[in-house]
């Protein structure tokens, strides 16, 4: 048998080339990009659009669609019709495939149903029902029907991440951001868990990642964390954690979103999103959750009005959050990608965030994304 020996220079070149590719694909910039979820404007994006260029360059790992643009108070954002949404998602997916990262783009939406419903009938989508409606009738077959329907629609449109279900326990029915807008399945944690299981299962069948929210529980609040800091120290109940604990044990968790609530019984210094005691201490160490954690929108009043961007990002990442969400809708900042990534990179260089911490988040996000490739 004749053996073929490759010239030494070829072997060296191949080794160096492979090393360069690996270094490029796993660079600090790439890892930071995978930690950013950003909202944008546009029903379609011209090739010259800065946001599309950022996607192509691999400067972010996730995007989110909205139908309503808060700053302009117009229903002109990213959703106009099924055909338009499908085309926009495909455009973003194709752009992300050019980065060479080997990881798909998370294309996300808040599609709980009921009041939190971006895919409205006026755009050509079927009606949806709220989680409260499903919890009240408490028929898991009904929940399965609607969850399967939602998951199929999302898959057909090109979404791969849904910020649902809400597993907040309905402690306060007058809660302006949960109970009053019908976002909770029930005041009984076990009912919340049983319906959430069904939602997760049906989404998984269609390759859609789900997100449990809002940890460690927003159901008792008396105010809206979109508008300012919300203190649940006197109203929060320990059983609000039960759905998370049960779903983690059952292996029914893809991702968990934090709440911007302050609870001095859990952390006397900072809200949950920024709290290492809550995210690492309770969620990871006590509940043994090792998956992806995403923040609620970092531009919400509870964070933006009380912490500078540098401080909020530093605390959030060091708390154990893997993806920072900037919906870019409560306020619109066309420079938010470069600002956030620049801050993270500088904090790493200054030693305020360790590279090990960045690596942890990158590995978690990459592992989750590989499940949907």
- Residues that are catalytic: 296
Q: CA–CA separation, 239 vs 70, rounded Å? A: 34
Of 23, 58, 21, 13, the residue nearest 38 (C-alpha): 58
Q: DSSP letters of 195-228?
A: HHHHHHHHHHHTT-EE-EEEET--TT-SS-TTTS
Cβ contacts of 280 within 8 Å, gap of 6 or more: 319, 320
Question: CA-CA distance, 328 to 334, in Å (whole number)?
Answer: 8
| Residue 166 Cα to chain centre, angstroms | 13
Instruction: Retrieve residue 111's tokens.
Output: 């599609």
Q: Could you give the CA distance from residue 342 to residue 338 in angstroms, rounded to a whole number?
A: 6
DSSP 3-state of 293 = strand
Cβ-based neighbours of 251, under 8 Å, separated by 6 or more: none
List the structure tokens of 249: 């044990």
Neighbours of 250 (CB within 10 A): 12
DSSP H or E run through 138? none
Q: Which of 196, 260, 199, 268 is nearest to 228 (CA)?
A: 260
With tokens 């400067």, the residue in question is: 59
Report yes or no: 92 and 47 within 8 Å, Cβ to Cβ: no
Q: How far apart are CA 72 and CA 295, in angstroms?
A: 25
Residues 153 and 208: beta-carbon distance below 8 Å: no
């Amino acid at each position: 048998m004749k053996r073929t020996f490759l010239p030494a220079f070829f072997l060296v070149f191949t080794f160096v080339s492979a090393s360069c590719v690996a270094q490029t694909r796993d660079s600090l910039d790439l890892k930071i990009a995978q930690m950013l979820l950003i909202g944008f404007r546009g029903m379609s994006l011209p090739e010259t659009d800065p946001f599309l260029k950022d996607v192509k360059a691999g400067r972010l790992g996730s995007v989110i669609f909205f139908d309503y643009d808060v700053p302009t108070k117009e229903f002109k954002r990213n959703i106009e019709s099924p055909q338009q949404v499908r085309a926009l998602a495909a455009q973003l997916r194709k752009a992300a495939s050019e980065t060479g990262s080997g990881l798909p783009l998370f294309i996300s939406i808040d599609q709980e149903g009921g009041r939190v419903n971006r895919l409205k009938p006026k755009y050509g989508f079927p009606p949806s029902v709220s989680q409260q409606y499903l919890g009240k009738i408490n028929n898991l077959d009904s929940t399965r029907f609607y969850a399967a329907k939602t998951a199929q629609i999302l898959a057909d449109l090109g979404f791969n991440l849904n910020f649902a279900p809400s597993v907040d326990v309905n402690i306060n029915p007058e809660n302006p951001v949960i109970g009053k807008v019908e976002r909770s399945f029930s005041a009984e944690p076990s009912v919340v868990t049983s319906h959430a299981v069904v939602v997760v299962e049906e989404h998984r069948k269609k390759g859609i990642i789900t997100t449990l929210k809002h940890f460690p529980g927003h159901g008792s609040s008396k105010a809206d964390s979109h508008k300012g800091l919300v203190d649940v120290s006197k109203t929060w109940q320990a059983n609000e954690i039960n759905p998370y604990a049960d779903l983690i044990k059952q292996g029914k968790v893809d991702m968990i979103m934090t709440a911007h609530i302050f609870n001095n019984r859990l952390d006397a210094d900072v809200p949950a999103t920024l709290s290492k005691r809550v995210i690492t201490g309770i969620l990871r160490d006590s509940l043994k959750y090792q998956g992806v954690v995403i923040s609620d929108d970092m531009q919400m009043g509870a964070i933006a009005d009380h912490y500078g961007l540098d401080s909020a990002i530093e605390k959030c990442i060091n708390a154990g959050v893997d993806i920072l969400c900037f919906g870019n809708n409560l306020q619109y900042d066309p420079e938010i990608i470069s600002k956030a990534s620049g801050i993270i990179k500088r904090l790493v260089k200054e030693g305020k965030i360790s590279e090990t911490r960045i690596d942890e988040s990158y590995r978690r996000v990459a592992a989750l994304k590989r499940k949907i490739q």
